[in-house]
Amino acid sequence: MEGMKRIPDGSVDLIITSPPYFLKKDYEKDWTWDKFDTLMKNVFLQVERILKPSGYFVINFGDNGFGRDNLKTECMSTYPMSHYYWNIKGNLELQATRIWRKQFAKIPFDGQAKNAPRNLFDYEHIWSFRKKDGIGKEKVRDIKLSCRGVLGEDWTSKAGLNIHCASFPIELPTWGITVYSDENDIVLDPFIGSGTTAIACINTNRNFIGFELDKQYYDIANERARKALLKRRRAND
C-alpha cells in the first residue's frame, strides 16, 4: 500500500490484477478476514485515486474462498467484489463482467461436489470497472476481443503455477491490456506476483508498475522482466 500511495493522482491508464482470494495460500495463511477486508478496501481507494478519469480497473478473482462465514454466502463474487462494498467513494462504475474458462485447472471432485449439487471451480471472474469522467463516452480498441463474454477457451499457455501458486496465463493480462489501453500507456498491477502482467506489458509496448511483498516472487518478477526487455531489444535491433 505504501508504494501505491506514492503514485500521483490520476496518472495511471489501466490497472489490471488478480488479488489474493483469501484461500489461505502460503502468502496469506496467517491472515484474518479483517486483514484481507481492510487490504482490499485500501486497494480500491488507491485505485480510485490514481486511475485517470475514464481509465479502467480489471480484476480477476475466483468464487472459492474462506470468507463464507463472514459473507454469509457460498460465492464471493456476490458481495465483496461488488462496487457497492469496496468501492467506498463510488467513483468506479462496473463496466463489464466476464468469465475466464480455465483450461489448465486441475479440478478434483472434492467433498463439496460429492455431498451437494454444487459446481466445481473450473472458472473465474474478470470484472472491469471504469473511473467516472463526467462524460461516459468509451473507446473501443478491439471489438472482437472486447465483445466476448467467455474468455480463455483458446488460451494455450500454462498459468505458470510452477513459479507462483496463484498465477494466471499471460493471455489474461494481454487481453485486458489490448482491450483497455494504448501503446505507451502506464499499466499498474498492485499484486504483480511473478511478473506476468509486466511481461504482457513489455510484449505489447506498454509501461508498467508493479508491487510485490514477497521477496522470492519480487526477484522472479524482476528477472522475468529483465529477460523480456532484453528479448524485445534484440528483436528491434
Per-residue pLDDT, averaged over 31-50, amounts to: 85
What is the rounded CA–CA span in Å between residue 188 and residue 172?
14
Amino acid, res. 74: E
Q: pLDDT per residue over 77-101, tens digit each?
A: 555 455 445 656 678 888 899 999 8
Q: Is the pLDDT of residue 182 over 80?
A: yes
212: left (phi over 0), alpha (psi -120 to 50) or beta: beta
Residue 189 and residue 166 in contact, taking contact as beta carbons nearer than 8 Å: no
Question: pTM above the 0.75 mark?
Answer: yes
Compute CA 122 distance to the chain's CA centroid, rounded to the nearest angstrom: 17
19 or 197, higher pLDDT: 197
In angstroms and rounded to an integer, the radius of gyration of the C-alpha atoms of the chain is: 18
The CATH code of the domain at 2-236 is 3.40.50.150
What are the distances in angstroms from CA 191 to CA 23, 107, 110, 210, 221? 15, 25, 29, 7, 11
User: Could you tell me which of 98, 94, 20, 10 has the C-alpha nearest to residue 47?
Assistant: 10
Residue 84: per-residue pLDDT: 46
Q: What's residue 153's pLDDT?
A: 85
Q: What string of DSSP letters covers 53-88?
A: EEEEEEEEE-S--S-HHHHTSS-GGGTTTSTTTT-T
- Give, in degrees to the nearest 5, the angle at Cα 184 between 87 and 128: 25
Report whether 221 contacts 210 (CB < 8 A): yes
Q: For the segment 203-237, what is each residue's pLDDT rounded down to a tens digit?
A: 999 999 999 888 888 899 999 999 999 988 888 77
Higher pLDDT, 38 or 202: 202
User: What average pLDDT does this structure show over 177-181?
Assistant: 96
Q: What does the DSSP assignment read for 21-53?
A: -S---GGGTT--HHHHHHHHHHHHHHHHHHEEE
